[in-house]
Amino acid sequence: MAEDEIKESSSKKKYELLEDLPGVGPATAQKLKEMGYHTIESLAMTTARELEPAGISEKKALGIIETARSSIGVSFIRADELLKMRKNVLRLTSGSKVVDRLVDGGLETQTITEFYGEFGTGKSQICHQLCVNVQLPPERGGLNGAVLYVDTENTFRTERIVSMSKHLGLDPEQVAKNIIYAEAYTSDHQMFLLDNADEVIKENNIKLIIVDSLTAHFRSEYIGREMLAPRQQRLNKHMHKLIGLARAFNAVAVVTNQVMAKPDVFFGDAVHPIGGHIVGHTSHTRIYLRRASHGPIRIARLVSSPYLPEGEEIFKITENGVEDASEEDKTKPRGR
């Protein structure tokens, strides 16, 4: 497995349990677990300051984190090793070949992909489709893995999973069993779920982590200008947690985001995604979705990627899920 390969790139000692780490006794291990650190991977992705509430001195915390990092092979690394880590990046199919091509062969592990767009543009439908696709074998574009689905708007529907699974010839019951679902009731709860997800991810071979929607709770809870700074700070923390999990477990991370109309914009695009720069800079790949007509056709635009050019592709969403659109689909009159 890919994360084993990452681990092998380090010649340092490997630890399995928190208790095994030098400097972590049973009492500290217990405190760390209460704070949501159940695995060496999650410790490797944290900062000394975040360990303060466990009563660990900064010096000791730095030592523990460093050991955890070298144990899973994410210490300072040379660029050639970075390249090796990039080689461990796996790709997950979106269901549409042209959309996959837009993002260089599919959604990548170790980073965050953000889908943003107005209501009904297919953000949640894509999330459902990815839940099914990730369970496919690699030769069909999957990762043979399970899913962690954090749903903030109660829009996850098993019925859709059943239709999409049947269409791909998979056993719907089996597919549904591999989707670990959690509804987040508030932004704090949403953060709590990810902060405590590391063990579930490890035990269930989770290869896809979805937060649908990333921003809805934050948007409704933090109202007014004076709340903007704390909101952005929390969102930033939440997204960094997600990146940490995606990297530690070589998983795909997907978030969705609604757009707001910009009433003061007369030129260019009059919508912008919620969360502004924080979300934009932290999402490695941003895909803007919009409707082409009232039919099943959707347009995916790659808006930002660290290394790919911008571009647009047309796909469709039907009862079967996310698919490539045929020439006939594309030329159907509006309103159909």
Ligand X SMILES: Nc1ncnc2c1ncn2[C@@H]1O[C@H](COP(=O)(O)OP(=O)(O)OP(=O)(O)O)[C@@H](O)[C@H]1O
Contact residues: ligand X, CB under 6 A: 117, 119-125, 155, 258, 317-319
Helices (H) and strands (E) in the chain, counts: 15, 12
Question: Residue 4 or residue 319: which is nearer to ligand X going by CB?
Answer: 319
Cβ-based neighbours of 205, under 8 Å, separated by 6 or more: 144, 145, 146
Contact 165, 215 (CB under 8 A): no
Strand partners, 91: 108
Shorter beta-carbon distance to Mg ion: residue 156 or 249: 156
Q: Does the footprint of Mg ion cover residue 124 (CB under 5 A)?
A: yes
User: What Cα–Cα distance (Å) separates residue 64 from each residue in 6, 33, 184, 306, 314?
Assistant: 20, 14, 31, 32, 48
Residue nearest to Mg ion (CB): 124
Is 15 or 288 the residue whose CB approaches ligand X more closely?
288
Strand partners, 274: none
Contact status: 67 vs Mg ion (CB under 5 A): no
Q: Which is nearer to ligand X, 75 or 318 (CB)?
A: 318
Q: How far is the CB of 183 from ligand X (least distance, A)?
A: 14
Of 71 and 152, which CB lies nearer to ligand X in the complex structure?
Answer: 152
When the beta carbons of 71 and 94 are compared against ligand X, the nearer one is 94
State which residue, 119 or 266, has the beta carbon closest to ligand X: 119
What span, in angstroms and rounded, lies between the C-alpha atoms of 111 and 282? 9
Q: How far is the CB of 120 from Mg ion (least distance, A)?
A: 8
Q: Are 255 and 107 in contact (CB under 8 A)?
A: no
* x-marked contacts with Mg ion along 126-155 as a string, rule CB under 5 A: -----------------------------x
Q: Which two tokens stand for residue 50?
A: 């975040």
State the nearest-atom distance from the C-beta of 129 to ligand X, in Å.
Answer: 10
Closest CA to 204 of 142, 152, 146: 146
Minimal CA–CA distance to 113: which of 205, 251, 228?
251
The one of ligand X, Mg ion, none whose footprint includes residue 122, by CB under 5 to 8 A per kind, is ligand X
Residue 213: CB minimum distance to ligand X, A: 6
Query: Count of residues binding Mg ion (CB under 5 A)?
Result: 3
The nearest distance, CB 135 to ligand X, in angstroms, is 20
The Cα–Cα gap between 26 and 14 comes to 19
d(CA 211, CA 285): 15
Instruction: Identify what 119 binds: Mg ion, ligand X, none; CB under 5 to 8 Å per kind.
Output: ligand X
For the CB of residue 219, give the shortest distance to ligand X in the complex, in Å: 12
Q: How far apart are CA 301 and CA 181, in angstroms?
A: 28
Q: Which amino acid is at 217?
A: H
Q: How far is the CB of 119 from ligand X (least distance, A)?
A: 3
Residues in contact with Mg ion by the rule CB under 5 A: 123-124, 155
